[in-house]
Amino acid sequence: MTDDRTIQAPARRFTGKVAVVTGGGSGIGAACARRLAAEGAAVVIADIAAEAGEQVAEALRADGHQAAHIPCDVALAADWQRLADTVRATHGRVDVVVSNAYAMAIAPTHELAEPDWHRVLDVILKAAYLAVRHLHGLLPAAGGSLVAVSSVHALRGRAGFAPYAAAKGGLEALVRQLAVEYGPALRVNAVTPGPIATPQWRFTSEPDLRAEAERTVLGRFGTPEEVAAAVAFLASGEAAFITGATLPIDGGMTIRL
Ligand SMILES: NC(=O)c1ccc[n+]([C@@H]2O[C@H](COP(=O)([O-])OP(=O)(O)OC[C@H]3O[C@@H](n4cnc5c(N)ncnc54)[C@H](O)[C@@H]3O)[C@@H](O)[C@H]2O)c1
Q: Look at residue 237 in the predicted model and tell me its pLDDT.
A: 97
**What average pLDDT is seen over the chain?**
96
Question: Whole-angstrom Cα distance, residue 197 to residue 188?
Answer: 25
Helix, strand, coil fractions of the chain, as percent rounded to 5? 45, 15, 35
Q: In Å, what is the CA distance from 162 to each residue of 36, 39, 138?
A: 32, 37, 34
Q: Which residue type does 246 have? A: T
More confident residue, 7 or 244: 244
**Taking residues 192-206, what's their average pLDDT?**
97
Instruction: Tell me the per-residue pLDDT of 113-166, one tens digit each, with 9 for 90 and over.
Output: 999 999 999 999 999 999 999 999 999 999 999 999 999 999 999 999 999 999
Residue owning the nearest CA to atom 11 of ligand 1: 100
**Taking residues 34-48, what's their average pLDDT?**
98
Confidence of residue 247 (pLDDT cuts 50, 70, 90): very high
Residue 204 has pLDDT above 70, yes or no: yes
Largest Cα span, the chain:
51
Ligand 1 atom at shortest distance from the alpha carbon of 24: 39
Q: How many domains does the chain have?
A: 1
Q: Is residue 166 part of a domain?
A: yes
Q: Is residue 10 part of a domain?
A: no
Residue 72 has pLDDT above 90, yes or no: yes
Q: Is residue 11 part of a domain?
A: no
Q: Look at residue 11 in the predicted model and tell me its pLDDT.
A: 78
Proportion of the chain above pLDDT 70, given as a percent: 96
Q: Is residue 13 part of a domain?
A: no
Ligand 1 atom at shortest distance from the alpha carbon of 75: 31
Residue 6 has pLDDT above 90, yes or no: no
Q: Look at residue 4 in the predicted model and tell me its pLDDT.
A: 55
Residue 1 has pLDDT above 50, yes or no: no
**Taking residues 63-77, what's their average pLDDT?**
98
Question: Whole-angstrom Cα distance, residue 221 to residue 215?
Answer: 10
Residue owning the nearest CA to atom 34 of ligand 1: 47
Residue 184 has pLDDT above 70, yes or no: yes
Write the DSSP symbol of residue 104.
-
How remote is the CA of residue 198 from the centroid of ligand 1, in Å?
A: 9
How remote is the CA of residue 123 from the centroid of ligand 1, in Å?
A: 10
Instruction: Tell me the per-residue pLDDT of 222-243, one tens digit each, with 9 for 90 and over.
Output: 999 999 999 999 999 999 999 9
Question: Whole-angstrom Cα distance, residue 20 to residue 94?
Answer: 7
How remote is the CA of residue 2 from the centroid of ligand 1, in Å?
A: 30
Is the CB of residue 52 below 6 angstroms from any atom belonging to ligand 1? yes
Instruction: Give 207-213's long-range contacts (Cβ < 8 A, gap of 24+).
Output: none
Q: Is residue 201 part of a domain?
A: yes
Residue 221: exposed, middle, or buried by beta-carbon count in 10 A (0-12, 13-18, 19+)?
A: middle
Q: Is residue 119 part of a domain?
A: yes
Question: Whole-angstrom Cα distance, residue 46 to residue 25?
Answer: 8
Is the CB of residue 198 below 6 angstroms from any atom belonging to ligand 1? yes
Question: Which residues sit opposite 233 in a β-bridge?
Answer: none
Q: Look at residue 2 in the predicted model and tell me its pLDDT.
A: 43
Q: Is residue 7 part of a domain?
A: no
Residue owning the nearest CA to atom 31 of ligand 1: 73
* Residue range(s) defining the domain that contains residue 117: 18-255
Q: Is residue 12 part of a domain?
A: no
How remote is the CA of residue 241 from the centroid of ligand 1, in Å?
A: 28
Active site residues: 164
Q: 182: domain CATH number?
A: 3.40.50.720
